[in-house]
Amino acid sequence: MPLAFTASSVSPGNVLATLLLEPPPSLAATAMGDGTVDLQWDTSPSAAARDVEYLVLRRQIGATGFTQVARTAAVTYTDSPTPGTFEYVVRTAISSFWSADSPVATATTGP
């Protein structure tokens, strides 16, 4: 099946990067007792041939879009969200180009 992109969903400059950059194959989110969320993901297969960074995105349950909360070269990140239930995804990035989303991971913080 051919891939279909619309102008409203993917910028033309990122189409090639989306096809060449692979997202991390797994993502785990663990809510800690201090209200933080520890995220850990597997290295993107794209990282073997390139120096990549990772974009960490979060959205509260019920929200329609993700917001970027970090850009890191590491495969771990500790987030400090407000209390609530959140979904996370990670994207592989090189410069201003990024991959599709990793699998979603969910964590609940708060009292």
Number of domains, the chain: 1
- Please state, for a pLDDT cut of 90, what percent of the chain lies above it: 69
Query: Domain containing 70 — which CATH number?
Result: 2.60.40.10
Residue 5 lies in a domain: no
Half-sphere exposure of 110 (CA within 13 A, CB side): 8
Using CA atoms, how far residue 83 sits from 71, 79, 107, in Å, is 22, 12, 10
State the chain's mean pLDDT as an integer: 85
Residue 17 lies in a domain: no
Residue 19 lies in a domain: no
Residue 16 lies in a domain: no
Residue 13 lies in a domain: no
Residue 32 lies in a domain: yes
**Per-residue pLDDT tens digits for 23-59:** 999 999 999 999 999 999 999 888 877 889 999 999 9
Residue 41 lies in a domain: yes
**Per-residue pLDDT tens digits for 79-111:** 999 999 999 999 999 988 999 999 999 999 987
pLDDT at res. 46: 80
Residue 6 lies in a domain: no
The domain in which residue 105 lies consists of 24-109
Model confidence at 9: pLDDT above 60: no
67-73 average pLDDT score: 97
Read off the pLDDT band of 70 (50, 70, 90).
very high
